[in-house]
A and B are shown apart, each in its own frame.
Chain A
């Protein structure tokens, strides 16, 4: 909810203040629409549209340019429009409007039970209070409903904490020495050390040490002066670096997969358009 006042200087983008670029891009958009109508949205047109969209977005990699900005704004518009209409058709209509309006007033044939639940109107009325944020005199109503929902979420946080974290706490307390042999730790192929009829679970001990050291690193209620807390905190920092490196490695894999899929689309499009020919 930002205000752009006339006194604020506009952000400068390549070609943003160029009339020629504005006209060219808008004319191209119109041409694309006319071409789509002419081809009746056949598969070739959709493929070409996909390639144009991909290359336009990738153009930012070379440098900032008006084509990228133009397509970026089209993307934001399409995403916003899709979100709005999807929620309306898939959720608001079947779960609010149809149950609320009596069957005699709703003329389309929909095989749904219910109807006439007039009290659902309060869902809209209370929901409309969110929009009072745009009216400064009434904006306290927005805080009223927002804080109510935050209170409701806060009440559920205890439940969430017990559901999510309590098992983590119990899983952390494992005896380093027990009378049971456990399967190879985490697939690393390392077994427990067998001493008489007891088993020494090396990796559980290491896991507890790493856990405590990481806690020590983030424990700021006490100053890190004493050796009892300073050394574990230092070790915790090193363990944290190892974990961050692991996160980076998996992130690289995740991000590259997206690029690979996109480039594969371009490859398939090239083969389809140039090898098989337009349909």
Chain B
């Protein structure tokens, strides 16, 4: 029965998509617009529809409307659709490196290393169940070997990952040296502000102004106080203004996407 249900589901789905594929480009465009609108309407309606006392699936009383109880199952189902997108990244990388390897382009050995690393990690990770498979039974030694190999590969990945991030520190140091030239008032303000923050965060800066008594009127000029003052009363309202502006812009963009008003090569391409 299960196999039958699966087979029927696949047939029905393929049939529907085949039918839709027969539509003209204009028809496909309108189907997409309708689907986009309905998908957005669902959450909008659930959010804006008036609420009253309802019962959740476990019988508890909550505030909601006729769509509230469907949010959880619908959201979980959407996640099950999105998880497959991990394959897109893998396929894209494989196409790029595969072409380089097959055509023996310069750097093909790097692409070979990429494939060896990716495939070995996937295979070892699957067999060892991410290093957690119990090493028991007839293949005890083999399973133990895969667990050890997984942990070695994982440790290798951790070291490479950390070192890649560590490179950024060198780049920021050289960027600070090259770019921080006080040629204008704005650049001067930027530098003074950066110096206050950099000194306020570390013990050297605290030590520099430690001579100022903490309870005196001049305590404001201690670096840790200057840091707090700058972050709370200058940085905070600026970041707030930027966040509000970005959010309002995002809202306008969301409306345009929901109503399919957005134009551009990606949005209006018809094939």
Contact = CB atoms under 8 A, between A and B. Distances in A.
Interface of A: 1-4, 6, 10-13, 16-17, 21-23, 25-26, 29, 36, 40-41, 45-46, 49-50, 53-54, 57-58, 60-61, 69-92, 95-96, 101-102, 105, 116, 118-131, 133-134, 136-141, 143-145, 147-159, 161, 164-165, 168-169, 171-172, 185-190, 203, 206-208, 210-211, 214-215, 218, 237-253, 255-256, 258-259, 261-263, 265
Contacts of B109: 21-23, 25-26, 70
Given A187-B232, A214-B238, A245 B118 contact: no
A75 B96 contact: no
B185 A238 contact: yes
Interface string B110-144: 11111111111110011001100000000000000
B204 interface: no
Contacts of B250: 157, 161
A58 B245 contact: no
Given A22-B109, A26-B112, A139 B77 contact: no
Contacts of B62: none
B186 A81 contact: no
Contacts of B186: 237-238, 241
A255 B122 CA distance: 31
A183 to B, nearest CB: 12
A-B pairs, 4 with minimum CB distance? A249-B197, A245-B193, A186-B232, A77-B117
Consensus secondary structure, chain B interface: helix
B168 A155 contact: no
A245 B40 CA distance: 40
Interface in B143-192: 148-149, 151-157, 159-170, 172-173, 176, 185-187, 189-192
A262 to B, nearest CB: 4
Interface in B80-130: 80-93, 95-97, 99-100, 103, 105-122, 125-126, 129-130
Contacts of B231: 186, 246
Contact of A186 (B41, B106, B233): B233
B19 interface: no
B63 interface: no
Contacts of A262: 162-163, 166
B88 A165 contact: no
A84 B9 contact: no
A155 B201 contact: no
Given A57-B166, A252-B173, 8 more contacts: A10-B100, A16-B106, A53-B160, A85-B125, A140-B271, A147-B35, A158-B44, A189-B219
Nearest to B93: A80
B157 A78 contact: yes
B167 to A, nearest CB: 7
B235 interface: yes
Interface of B: 2, 5-6, 9-10, 13, 17, 21, 25, 28, 31-33, 35-44, 47-48, 77-93, 95-97, 99-100, 103, 105-122, 125-126, 129-130, 148-149, 151-157, 159-170, 172-173, 176, 185-187, 189-198, 200-202, 219-220, 225-226, 228-245, 247-248, 250-251, 254-255, 257-258, 260, 269-271
A127 B156 contact: no
A241 B167 contact: no
Contacts of A72: 110
A144 B185 contact: no
A75 B164 contact: yes
A77 B220 contact: no
Contacts of B87: 84, 130-131
A237 B50 CA distance: 43
Contact of B240 (A121, A172, A256): A172
